[in-house]
Structure 1
Amino acid sequence: MKCILPLLAVAMSGAAFVGHAAPLQPIKDFVGHGTYGTVKISPNGEYLAVTVDQGDQDVLTVLRTSDLQIVKVNQLPEKKSIGSFYWTSPTRLMFNSVKKMGGYAQPSPTGEWYAVNADGSQPRPLIHYGAQDSTQRGKTVGNQGFSLLDTLKDDDQNVIMQSNSQRSSEGGNTEVVRMDTLTGRRTSLGRAPKENCSISLDAEKAPRFAICSSSKNEEGEYEERSELYRRDGTNWTLLNASKADGKHLDVIRTTNEGTVYATEDNDRDPAAIGTLDTATGSFHSLFQDPVAEVSDMIWSTDDNTLIGVVTEAGAPAVKLLNEDHPDAEIYASLAAAFEGQMVDFSSYTRDGRKIIVSVYSDNNPGELYLYDRDTGKARFLMSRRPQLKKEEMASVRPFSITARDGRQIHGYLTLPHGVDPRNLPLVVNPHGGPIGPRDNWGFNPEAQLFASRGYATLQVNFRGSGGYGKAFQDAGHRQWDAGIQNDILDATHWAINNGYANRDRICIYGGSFGGYSSMMAPIREPGLFKCAFGYVGVYDVDMLFKKGDIPQRDSGLRYLRRTHGTDRADWNRASPALRAAEVKIPVYLAAGARDERAVPEQTELMNKALIAAGNKPEGMIIQSGEMHGFYGEEARINLYSEMLSFFQRHIGAGATDASSPAQSTKDK
């Protein structure tokens, strides 16, 4: 609790820069945690609720909107983080708890939900383990997980939640309940027609649609399937099955006026967004981009109209679907005021008179403003990284290339500020995943750190990346060592051939799957890279099937078979640890000792294999206490100090960082 107060105070004071004697901005300024995460205004505008990242734990802070003074800091015990949170009334908040798993892994919900007033009064555990209360107050039965469906704007005491359990003797394992946020008492409103469903409500806040999914076909292997059901009374009617027509229908929301917004996906192209006929299940498209998925939606402040959508083939592109709507006019005005930046309606009051506006860009880490509809003015609230000057940050250029097999590939090139963008030392930085995640245009603290030391950074949304349609994503399966690496290599040659990169000063660095690529790309094209830094990476496919959290689930094993096959010869070919003799450049390795995704044994095996091949890594960090991506500020500063010193030695950008000794301690 102590460290949040000065952090927020700096943000709210409007301080823009922390001076220092050295000519280079400190590493901490880039890799330290931002001043805010998610921000939501209370229904009547009196308060702001703000999540704050404190490393391996996130807390929830309540501020007065008028003067941004702290009212209450909510911090959970046992290093639990506050995950999703919602205003359920003008003075009451509801939130769940999660355990953070590392910077490259999604947090894991603990299953617990809490409610508390803005001033800290009437705290209540609504759903938790171990309760034996017969009135169901704060009770979780079996292995249930809950998610919020609706805060019920006209009801300050109750919310609608969805409960999912492992199995049910009563039919579907998904149930919709009304929950009292003061007592935790729950009342059932209906159950899904079968297992593995999610439910959407109608305008009367009753269960209306169920989207049921499966990742298994008749042969027991990985295949994504979905079915859409409509509820009439207590009966469910099947409206759509992807197995029959190859189309996935998903309901986004039903507005208070009864309009049902949905998406339709044909398993190939980016999904269309539109409306659903509740009687027939027919879909009417409002928007579909031929290249990129809809990445964000802009809603009217009464939540009744979808006024715009965002796509991100390269930089974000906003398409207003209803330009005559009053809120669309406000959005257009704000977008014009923040030209060249991305603007979003982050949250708004119940009457829509006040809107929290989020603004970011390639050189802006993020800012929040409070727009007042009555005055037509936007008041500055806070900056995510006030110590960094926007005018000194690097720029990010989207690009696209045609890969060697004709596939269109998109990516981003971060170029240092104030230097000629020609013949630069280059860090190639593949993202994690590889199936689903992607890189985005915007402020990337890591790439900005590299740019501050004179390096350009290349990021590639190779085949398998999300955001470009199902066919593009599926093209990454069984292509870890082949098609994906080809895309990374082809983009690297694009940067060289267009004069951005010095072909003799290129290193590759990545985390998670990016760590895998940092070893495999130099194997695929010897001589292209001068050094490689692997971070929390996977280096042996066989071990991926045996250790870590993925093979612990049947669905995880199906996924691994889908993306790697079952042929051991293919596994061996795709395992850098078994081809270490082909990595003939300097290497540095780093991993978290508590990593459950890419277990540290992966990094230790790669280290041993390189030593056996006569290419001992210049360093190896097995960081105690850290997971799949480091959280601790000291550990992060040490990591990037070592990394920058490593780059300096091999593709020197003319800047030297004081290095610190690599740590090799592991949790016992």
Structure 2
Amino acid sequence: MSFPKLLAALACALSLWVAMPSHADDAGGLRAAIGVERARAPAPHYPRAAFEPSRALQSVRLSPDGRHVAYLRQRGDQRSVWLLPTAGGVARQLLARTEADELLWSRDGRWLFVKARRSLLSLSIEGGSGVRITLDNPRAVIRVDPSQPAAVVLRERVRTSTGERWPVVRRDAHGRRTLLRDDDRFVHDVALDAQGKLVALLRFDGDHDALYRVDAAGGLRELARWNVIREQATLLAATPQGDLFLDGDTGGNFRRVLRVDRDGVLHTVHADPRGEADLDQVVLDPATQLPAVVSYRSTVAATYGLGAAQAQVAAIGKRFPGRDIGIGIGDGPDAYWLVSERASTLRDARWHLYDPRSGRIRRILEQDAEAAQPLPEAALARKLPFAYRASDGMLVRGFLLLPPGKDPARVPLVAFVHGGPINHFRADDYEGIAQLLANRGYAVFESNFRGSTGHGRDYALAPHGDYGNGRVQQDIVEGTRWLLAHGVGDPQRVGITGHSFGGYSTLLGVTFQPELFKVGVAGAPPADFGWSMRWLHEFGNQGARPDRSLAASMRLLGLDVDDPASYAHLRAQSPLANAGKLRRPLLLLAGGEDRTVPIREVISYAAVLRHLGKDVSLYVEADGGHSPSEPLPREAYVYLMETMLHRYLGGARPDAPSPKLRDYLKPSLRVVSNDVDFLPKR
């Protein structure tokens, strides 16, 4: 069967699947999709580096007038700023070197704000000089000012003898500073009118968030308040009539587009038509500053237009069936729109220009993307969504990736657990590790266990603090068993892996479910989740969050580490307290400068296991953070994972490490199991 026919067959299977009632699990739909995957041609073996996201193009942004596309281009270690005219012609370089990770357009389309972690540079697209603004906190940039030709709204942090204050200021492209508000509370977001006056703000008020209208004298009138995590909102825009638009879940279960009228009454503007996903992204019309495009990304990715944009967005969607599309709108009837195309089988996004007048679509930036040598989609695993019933009756979501052309009952199965736990796997996200494992012959199970985001507030809060060897872990275990019962995976060759919270789940799996999981690979794993959460709050990189919301968030998740009973429960069920029960081989991967999970916790756990005579290996990236960020440490991470899984589950043998990788690994492997040869002789 040809690749286009296979795509059509898969689309048909998925369309039938999506139509299934939400009260049933997805055994039938999964069976149909598996049949399509099994009929595909087997994929060639690709080198590890081929699965590495290229980062060749980053922060691709359309100007408000639709005349230019700006982007960050990465070549080796050098990142630069480029500008492409949408009417045609070649791109030109605006800035040869930058450490920025985000580009923001001014309202007039004549300036770019180039944002790095601690600085903001204004850059004229016509070649004029701008200014560099030092940012005194990582969350300093609130938004581009929609009321001014070229300005941004910033949040400053001022420490005083009695605490700290949070001035909200405007900085224009030439550096001029205008104070908009001086507040003693952390201001999350603001809305401005056409004259640049502050008309609304959202701030953290001790133990909750609150939305206020701001009068001409700076006085505040509270419109709504909500608990952190339990309800969330972001200000989108203010209309001349005094309405406020929000992205939030207040007053309901799912995040959606909301409108608050002048009387403070809340109205839903748009919610997921399928009734299962949180709002993921909102795009504002550059002319009206009102919501124009909305996207939902959980079980499936779907994008819709609002108002005048509805027909155009629908037309674009028909051109990219089965894809996750993002849309940037240009202002004016002759302005181009920017379309991003993503899929779980696309390592790097594809970029297109859409002409609303003719309906024509033209691909752009293709040469930059192709320079990174993307893998052919025909060789990559499709991400198959499904749902399964947990033992308590709750419907749990997940995804399955299968090696093309293989009998799914005869391949090893790996449970791949996401971090967070406030996070989730998305339908059309490309995940390099999952794709590499599928290429090596593994079936990969991704569980969006209860506690995951993207499926509404009730789903995210469903664990009620049971993050030990309890309900959350059961969702992962039961999903793995559900797949085995439906003919996916060899029951004698099942492993578990993950990073951060996923690493913690891995430790739980090999400790408490050794009859199921035969091996574990855990990245940056907390060995005692309660202790780790307390440390993170008091000393870690999130403990100093200026809105002081981390403790409140943890309490709402049932993780109140100041509560003796909650702390004792997590402690009693921790992998550290139950280290003596570990009976399966385990590989630990960690960063020496991790400020989320301290390295001492991982090393201490490894030492306890070694003292007990357990089969454990430990790799430490000496100067690494919470996750490996550079190419060589990332390759080391996946090579060690490949080696461990090959040894105990029988997947494809990993490619031998290069001399450079061998030299890097030698001092980084602190503890090595006698049964695993991580550095085979050449």
**TM-score by structure 1 length?**
0.81
Distance 2:178 2:570 in 1: 51
8 Å CA contact retained: 1:58, 1:82:
no
Deviation at 1:238, TM superposition (A): 1.9
Distance 1:296 1:208 in 2: 23
Structure 1 pair 45–211 and aligned structure 2 pair: CA distance change class (3 A): closer
Distance 1:159 1:655 in 2: 54
Distance 2:109 2:247 in 1: 32
Aligned residue runs from structure 1 range 188-587, under 5 A: 188-191=179-182, 196-214=187-205, 216=207, 225-234=208-217, 235-242=219-226, 250-255=234-239, 260-263=244-247, 265-266=249-250, 269-278=253-262, 280-289=263-272, 290-300=275-285, 302-322=287-307, 325=308, 327-346=309-328, 348=330, 353-365=335-347, 366-382=349-365, 384=369, 386-434=373-421, 436-442=422-428, 443-476=430-463, 478-481=465-468, 482-541=470-529, 542=531, 544-546=533-535, 548-551=540-543, 555-556=549-550, 563=559, 565=561, 566-567=563-564, 568-587=567-586
Partner of 2:624: 626
Distance 2:111 2:304 in 1: 35
Select 1:93's aligned residue among 90, 112, 118: 112
Cα deviations by residue, 1:559-592 (Å, 9 ceiling, x for unpaired): 5565153435324223212322222111111111
Distance 1:86 1:302 in 2: 14
- One-letter identity of the residue aligned with 1:277: D
Structure 2, gaps ≥5 residues long = 1-42, 671-682
The answer to whether 1:69 aligns with 2:53 is: no
Q: How many residues are treated as equivalent by the alignment?
A: 599
Partner of 1:115: 122
Deviation at 1:313, TM superposition (A): 3.8
Structure 1 pair 84–478 and aligned structure 2 pair: CA distance change class (3 A): farther
Structure 1 pair 387–124 and aligned structure 2 pair: CA distance change class (3 A): same
Structure 1 pair 241–374 and aligned structure 2 pair: CA distance change class (3 A): closer
The answer to whether 1:635 aligns with 2:633 is: yes
8 Å CA contact retained: 2:396, 2:449:
yes
Distance 2:251 2:626 in 1: 31
The answer to whether 1:595 aligns with 2:594 is: yes
Higher percent of residues as strand:
1
8 Å CA contact retained: 1:161, 1:176:
yes
Distance 2:277 2:264 in 1: 25
8 Å CA contact retained: 1:346, 1:356:
yes
Distance 2:464 2:76 in 1: 33
Partner of 2:5: none
Cα deviations by residue, 1:506-560 (Å, 9 ceiling, x for unpaired): 1111011111111112223221011100112211343553463345566545655
Deviation at 1:87, TM superposition (A): 3.8
Question: Identical aligned pairs, as a percentage?
Answer: 23
Distance 1:490 1:564 in 2: 27
Larger displacement relative to structure 2 (418-427 or 481-490): 418-427
Cα deviations by residue, 1:68-103 (Å, 9 ceiling, x for unpaired): 434233534xxx5434533454442112221xxxxx
Cα deviations by residue, 1:422-455 (Å, 9 ceiling, x for unpaired): 4432111111111x21111112222111111111
Cα deviations by residue, 1:232-280 (Å, 9 ceiling, x for unpaired): 211322222337xx976653212578653224534761134232212x1
Distance 2:398 2:339 in 1: 27
Distance 1:416 1:170 in 2: 60
Structure 1 pair 576–352 and aligned structure 2 pair: CA distance change class (3 A): farther
Partner of 2:140: 146
Distance 1:83 1:241 in 2: 31
8 Å CA contact retained: 2:65, 2:335:
no
8 Å CA contact retained: 1:422, 1:500:
yes
Cα deviations by residue, 1:385-425 (Å, 9 ceiling, x for unpaired): 64211222110111112212222211111122233444432
Structure 1 pair 193–598 and aligned structure 2 pair: CA distance change class (3 A): closer
Structure 2 counterpart SS, 1:533: strand
- One-letter identity of the residue aligned with 1:187: T
Distance 2:460 2:77 in 1: 31
The answer to whether 1:34 aligns with 2:55 is: yes
Cα deviations by residue, 1:357-397 (Å, 9 ceiling, x for unpaired): 00112212320011123443111113556421122211011
Distance 1:511 1:94 in 2: 33
8 Å CA contact retained: 1:269, 1:291:
no
Structure 1 counterpart SS, 2:455: coil
Distance 2:236 2:74 in 1: 29
- One-letter identity of the residue aligned with 2:344: D
Structure 1 pair 620–215 and aligned structure 2 pair: CA distance change class (3 A): farther
Q: CA RMSD in A?
A: 3.3
Distance 2:288 2:492 in 1: 54
**TM-score by structure 2 length?**
0.79
Larger displacement relative to structure 2 (191-200 or 285-294): 191-200
The answer to whether 1:165 aligns with 2:172 is: no
8 Å CA contact retained: 1:203, 1:257:
no
Larger displacement relative to structure 2 (43-52 or 572-581): 43-52
Deviation at 1:48, TM superposition (A): 2.6
